[in-house]
Copies of this chain bind each other. A is one copy, B any other.
Amino acid sequence: MKKTIIVFSGDLDKVMASFIIANGAAAMGDEVTMFFTFWGLNALRKPERIPTKKSFMEKMFGWMMPKGVNKLGISKMNFGGLGAVMMKKIMQQKQVESLQSLMETARMLGVKFIACTMSMDVMGFKPEELIDGLEFAGVASYLGEADQANVNLFI
């Protein structure tokens, strides 16, 4: 049965949880759709600077927010990024898949990534600033997927 996950959070720990669930379901043969919105879009940003036309506010937003999976902080005890570094180090020691790798696995398993167009507009993110292979859609599209799914999470 299909599963959907709204990835609203841009915290490393929550985005990781999203992918662990998504990949687990996909590995068991489920169709999975991840709908990235608000802070969750940060996980989809390309790390490099892409030249785009932006308003002052959009530039500020883009500059203040983490650029891609490797820059996300954790939701508790982040201590200006130290917590995230520590968690990544521990995960490496324990041979837990990194978020980068979880995302690649999700792709291989056919998990569908949707970027929320309304949030992109508010945040000022252009499609070319986000990683490749995304679908772009809004809430109606999410609801259409959720109606066909038996597990729908908001993370």
Contacts and interface: CB of A to CB of B under 8 A. Distances in A.
Interface of A: 1, 6, 8, 10, 13-14, 17, 20-21, 24-25, 28, 30, 37-39, 55, 57-58, 60-61, 64-65, 75-77, 86-87, 89-91, 93-94, 96, 118, 121-122, 124, 138-140, 142-143, 146-147, 150-155
A41 to B, nearest CB: 12
Contacts of A143: 21, 24-25, 28, 30, 151
**6 A-B pairs with the lowest CB-CB distances in the bound complex, closest first:** A24-B139, A153-B154, A146-B151, A151-B152, A57-B90, A154-B155
7 contacts: A8-B17, A8-B155, A10-B76, A21-B143, A24-B142, A91-B122, A147-B151
